């Protein structure tokens, strides 16, 4: 994608990867609008980045999505980049009881939300000379983490949807790029000093380099072996990956 002269909406832009991307795009002179449910956090980011703007959005609520989409199109007619970044990552137990409300919330936020928001904005994006949809999935779309089974499944679903979306938008002004992050040191799970977590600034720097190209999927080098899931050998790969996590648990809280 072209990294300058854009008007960009980033969901979940008040923290973590979303904030990192928002600030990186903002520094390049783009018009950046961050969206999220918590106004106080939006205001904090906007105060730290003069010229950035925010809009309250409940990605779980179809009515909120439609209302925000209408407002965005009216207020920012040059809007041409949508970053579907908002997500939640609760732990679960696929061998036991899965809390229904948590499951539905995870699927709604991580998978249905991006589809609904993109659907609400897609005709506007098509009307722009050039537009980009960026879907934030995860390396766990390819190698699921057993203790986050539902989360991993939603990211696999969004990856699959991105593949179809990219194909169906061929011949339009809209391209689709996917970001598949590793474990990044944010508060999505636990922000700390675990050496397995990639520093946020390093992730953002490498991701921006990838986004500046026409590659359909941006994957940092550190996780490419996991992304290159070896087909019929994936069962052993995934077992080994999850066994390593069992032996060295991810800290929580």
Q: Which residues are catalytic?
A: 151
CB-CB contact of 148 with 140 (8 Å): yes
Q: What are phi and psi of 130, to 5 degrees?
A: -150, 135
CB-CB contact of 68 with 98 (8 Å): no
Residue count of the chain: 253
Q: What is the dihedral of CA 112, 114, 115, 119, to 10 degrees?
A: 140
Neighbour-count burial of 125, counting CB atoms closer than 10 A to its CB (0-12 exposed, 13-18 middle, 19+ buried) = buried
Other C-beta atoms closer than 10 Å to the C-beta of 78 total 10
């Amino acid at each position: 994608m072209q990294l300058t002269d854009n008007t960009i909406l980033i969901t979940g832009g008040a923290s973590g990867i979303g904030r990192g991307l928002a600030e990186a795009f903002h520094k390049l002179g783009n018009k950046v609008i961050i969206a999220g449910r918590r106004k106080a956090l939006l205001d904090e980011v906007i105060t730290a980045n003069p010229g950035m703007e925010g809009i309250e959005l409940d990605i779980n609520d179809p009515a909120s999505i439609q209302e925000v989409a209408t407002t965005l199109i009216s207020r920012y007619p040059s809007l041409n980049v949508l970053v579907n970044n908002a997500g939640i990552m609760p732990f679960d137990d696929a061998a036991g009881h899965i809390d229904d409300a948590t499951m539905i919330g995870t699927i709604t936020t991580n998978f249905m939300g991006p589809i609904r928001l993109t659907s609400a904005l897609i005709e506007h994006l098509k009307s722009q000379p050039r537009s980009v949809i960026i879907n934030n999935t995860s390396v766990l779309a390819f190698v699921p983490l057993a203790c986050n089974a539902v989360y991993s499944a939603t990211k696999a679903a969004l990856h699959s949807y991105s593949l179809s979306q990219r194909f169906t938008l061929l011949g339009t002004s809209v391209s689709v790029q996917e970001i598949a992050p590793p474990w990044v040191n944010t508060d999505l799970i636990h922000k700390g000093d675990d050496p397995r977590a990639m520093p946020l600034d390093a992730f953002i720097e490498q991701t921006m380099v990838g986004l500046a190209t026409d590659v359909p999927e941006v994957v940092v080098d550190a996780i490419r072996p996991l992304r290159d899931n070896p087909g019929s050998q994936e069962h052993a790969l995934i077992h080994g990956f999850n066994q390593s996590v069992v032996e060295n648990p991810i800290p929580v809280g």
